[in-house]
């Protein structure tokens, strides 16, 4: 019992305990709730920073608690986990600030922030999970914690979206469960191990392993919104903006993508997966998702729905990078986990600002909005260019490595997917930017409210500006030590046999 044992647990508990206290807090105690929210988020960041430093200096952090005979609840800080933990902790703070501003004076805030905290707890648990059963545990907890956030508004549409979400995710969770138990009966262990733990298994089990692979990836693919399992995501847009931001950038979608990374690298092992012949089909599914969702995004007039399809497309970059067998593609895929998160959260914050301040929900209403809300639209522009993959932004780095990786692995066709996706991204983002900056304003907005002295309240403005700056810095300073890219190189070096 020491720091190495307690730190991972504390990182999970910091938001859990805050959430539980917030649940029982009376609605009118706004100050206490804000204090708790921000305090817990800051505490988590400090703890994560300590752990990051520790992992970098070679310390092993691991929490083990008995769960079942032969199986333990394991929280372990390996390099891959740290990438996701740091992302969640950082973006949680910003989203919390944003959500406090966004939900000012709206009802049921205790309930909202309670589940919000649970959601982050589950995400961090997913990140730190040291074996598949722990992962599964937090993965399902995530489903349960996000459902109340999606139906928070309580309208008929919200309940319908919540129902769709549950049908998809519970079914996905069930597949994941079967795959996990099956795997356990074959191997007797579920411990994540760099380069996987299955390659030593007798080759007569290989057909079973392929089925297990399909079960696990399908189960995870629901949350990662792989085509054709993405149906819930655009519907879930009825949720309040901070929830969408969190769902798309950090929590749900990323948990799925992160799970795919874990399964391929630390359960099957990338080289063993390739020898099973399962990576190419996955790369094809990811590519289809990328193109299909981009095409769908073109035709959405609802801004949040357009962003949602964009998420479906962009998250599949991660899967694609993972499924192309090669170190450079792996770097591109994994680093996109962070890059996409930072860029997409910027876009959703901005969309929320437009809706909250001016009542703008549709792309067609955005004409000339750049002059009314310059800071918001500047951040939006950076996010959009990042998504398109323009240098020197974060998105460019991901695409560059994905492209190089594809060539390195001899999968030249991927270049066409990337190029096509870039064009489509440009096609659905540039008209928005053009209209916002150069379009004529009609002078009146659907539902304008004056909040704050600036273009909107500071709590709503500062988070997207920070994330936009981050998106630039992640691209410019990509090779600085501790940057996600450098960290990803470290992860990748562990996953391939030298």
Partner 1 sequence: MNLIFDTHWVMMLILLPLFGAVACFLWSRQAVTLGLITAVSVLLSVIALTLQVLEQGTLRYAVGGWGAPLGIDLYVDGLSLLMLIVTAVVGVAISVYSSAYFKPGKAKHYWPLWMFLWAALNSLFLSADIFNLYVTLELMGLAAVALVALSGSASALAAAMRYLLISLLGSLFYLMGVALLYHAYGTVDIALLAQQVESSPAVWAAIGLMVTGLLLKIALFPLHFWLPAAHSSAPAPVSALLSALVVKASFYILLRLWLDVFPEANLALSYLLGLLGASAIIWGGIQALYQTRLKLLIAYSTVMQIGYLFLAFPLASIIGWKAVFYLLLSHAIAKTAMFMAAGNILFYGGHDQIADLDRVAQRLPITLTAFGLAGISLMGLPPSGGFIAKWLLLEAIILSGQWWWAIILIAGGLLTGAYVFKVIGFAFTQAEVPHEPRMVPKRMEWVTLTVAVLAIMLGFMAPQLLALMDLGAPFGETMS
Q: Which residues of the shown chain bind partner 1 in the complex (CB under 8 A)?
A: 23, 65-69, 111, 133, 136-137, 140-141, 143-144, 147-148, 151-152, 154, 158-159, 162-163, 166, 170-171, 173-174, 177-178, 181-182, 184-185
Closest to partner 1 by CB, 140 or 356: 140
Closest to partner 1 by CB, 15 or 411: 15
Alpha carbons 95 and 92: distance in angstroms, whole number: 5
Minimum distance of partner 1 from residue 182's CB (angstroms)? 5
Question: How far from chain centre, in Å, is Cα 285?
Answer: 19
Closest to partner 1 by CB, 6 or 23: 23
Q: Does the CA dihedral 346-351-356-358 come out positive or negative?
A: positive
Minimum distance of partner 1 from residue 140's CB (angstroms)? 5
186 within 8 A of 153, measured Cβ to Cβ? no
Minimum distance of partner 1 from residue 19's CB (angstroms)? 13
Closest to partner 1 by CB, 127 or 468: 127
Q: Which two tokens stand for residue 155?
A: 């309208």
Closest to partner 1 by CB, 153 or 362: 153
Minimum distance of partner 1 from residue 179's CB (angstroms)? 10
Q: Which two tokens stand for residue 146?
A: 């996000």
CA distances in angstroms from 84 to 20, 101, 177, 250, 335, listed in the order given: 24, 26, 23, 8, 10
Alpha carbons 35 and 166: distance in angstroms, whole number: 32
Minimum distance of partner 1 from residue 218's CB (angstroms)? 13
Largest CA distance in the chain: 71
Tokens 């928070």 label which residue?
A: 152
SS3 15: helix
Alpha carbons 9 and 14: distance in angstroms, whole number: 9
Minimum distance of partner 1 from residue 157's CB (angstroms)? 12
8 within 8 A of 63, measured Cβ to Cβ? yes
Minimum distance of partner 1 from residue 47's CB (angstroms)? 22
Closest to partner 1 by CB, 155 or 479: 155
Closest to partner 1 by CB, 56 or 159: 159
Minimum distance of partner 1 from residue 293's CB (angstroms)? 27
Closest to partner 1 by CB, 188 or 481: 188
Name the residue among 89, 481, 409, 60 with its Cα closest to residue 489. 481
Between the two ends of the chain, the Cα-to-Cα distance in Å is: 36
CA distances in angstroms from 65 to 18, 74, 391, listed in the order given: 22, 7, 46
């Amino acid at each position: 019992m020491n720091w190495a044992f307690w730190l991972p647990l504390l990182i999970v508990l910091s938001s859990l305990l805050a959430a539980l206290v917030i649940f029982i807090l009376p609605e009118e105690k706004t100050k206490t709730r804000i204090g708790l929210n921000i305090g817990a988020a800051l505490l988590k960041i400090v703890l994560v920073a300590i752990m990051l430093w520790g992992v970098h200096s070679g310390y092993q952090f691991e929490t083990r608690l008995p769960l079942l005979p032969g199986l333990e609840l394991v929280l372990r800080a390996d390099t891959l986990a740290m990438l996701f933990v740091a992302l969640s902790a950082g973006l949680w703070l910003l989203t919390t600030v944003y959500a406090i501003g966004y939900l000012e004076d709206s009802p049921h805030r205790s309930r909202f922030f309670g589940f919000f905290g649970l959601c982050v707890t589950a995400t961090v648990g997913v990140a730190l999970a040291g074996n598949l059963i722990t992962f599964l545990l937090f993965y399902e907890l995530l489903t349960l914690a996000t459902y109340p956030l999606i139906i928070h508004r309580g309208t008929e549409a919200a309940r319908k979206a919540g129902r769709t979400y549950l049908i998809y995710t519970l079914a996905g969770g069930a597949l994941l469960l079967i795959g996990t138990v099956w795997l356990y009966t074959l191997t007797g262990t579920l411990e994540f191990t760099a380069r996987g733990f299955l390659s030593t298994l007798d080759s007569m089990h290989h057909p079973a392993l392929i089925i297990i692979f399909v079960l696990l990836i399908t189960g995870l693919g629901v949350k990662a919104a792989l085509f054709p399992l993405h149906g819930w995501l655009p519907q879930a847009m009825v949720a309040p903006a901070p929830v969408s931001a969190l769902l798309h950038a950090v929590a749900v979608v990323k948990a799925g993508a992160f799970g795919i990374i874990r399964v391929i690298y630390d359960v099957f092992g990338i080289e063993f997966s390739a020898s099973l012949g399962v990576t190419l089909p996955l790369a094809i599914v990811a590519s289809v998702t990328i193109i299909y969702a981009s095409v769908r995004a073109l035709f959405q007039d609802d801004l949040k729905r357009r962003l949602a399809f964009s998420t479906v497309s962009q998250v599949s970059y991660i899967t694609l990078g993972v499924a192309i067998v090669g170190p450079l593609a792996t770097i591109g895929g994994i680093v996109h986990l962070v890059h996409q998160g930072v860029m997409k959260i910027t876009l959703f914050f901005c969309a929320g600002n437009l809706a909250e301040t001016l009542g703008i929900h549709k792309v067609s209403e955005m004409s000339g909005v750049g002059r009314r809300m310059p800071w918001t639209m500047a951040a939006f522009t950076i996010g959009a260019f990042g998504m398109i993959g323009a240098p020197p932004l974060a998105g460019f780095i991901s695409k560059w490595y994905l492209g190089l990786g594809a060539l390195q692995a001899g999968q030249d066709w991927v270049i066409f997917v990337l190029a096509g996706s870039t064009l489509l991204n440009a096609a659905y983002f540039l008209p928005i930017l053009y209209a916002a900056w150069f379009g004529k304003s009609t002078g009146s907005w659907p539902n304008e409210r004056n909040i704050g002295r600036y273009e909107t309240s500071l709590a709503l403005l500062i988070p997207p500006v920070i994330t936009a700056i981050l998106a630039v810095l992640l691209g410019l300073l990509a090779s600085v030590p501790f940057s996600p890219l450098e960290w990803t190189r470290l992860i990748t070096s562990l996953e391939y046999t030298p």
